[in-house]
Amino acid sequence: MYCKQCGKELRDSSAFCEYCGTRAGFGKKQEPVNTMSIVGMIVAGISVFLNFWGLVGIAAVLLSAMGLIQINKSGEKGKGIAITGIALGTFSIIYGFLMIMLFM
């Protein structure tokens, strides 16, 4: 592990470079959380309360699935978030479907 800024060798345990103070990058730990997966989970959270016959759940599953695809390509964080969004969204779709059945 070498400092990206000054090129000095760093100990694996140090989060910051001892020589120049630059934040040390540790591969995957430095990757940001995928935005699409966050949006997907927010929509999934909304879909639990504002179901709209499962339509919001469908949007949540689509967004989360897109997030998951992006994560697999880019190595970003947020896989758990995306999977939670898909699970919650699927629950909402089933719930919405049951609601339609009840009202018909």
Name the site residues for Zn ion (rule: CB under 5 A): 3, 5-6, 17, 19-20, 22
Q: Which is nearer to Zn ion, 22 or 51 (CB)?
A: 22
How does DSSP classify residue 14?
A: -
Task: Give the shortest CB-7-to-Zn ion separation in angstroms.
Answer: 7
**H helical segments located in the chain:** 35-49, 55-74, 79-103
Task: Give the shortest CB-75-to-Zn ion separation in angstroms.
Answer: 24
């090129």: which residue's tokens?
Answer: 7
Cα distance between residue 104 and residue 73, in whole Å: 43
Q: Which is nearer to Zn ion, 5 or 35 (CB)?
A: 5
Q: What angle do CA 90, 37, 61 make, to 5 degrees?
A: 20
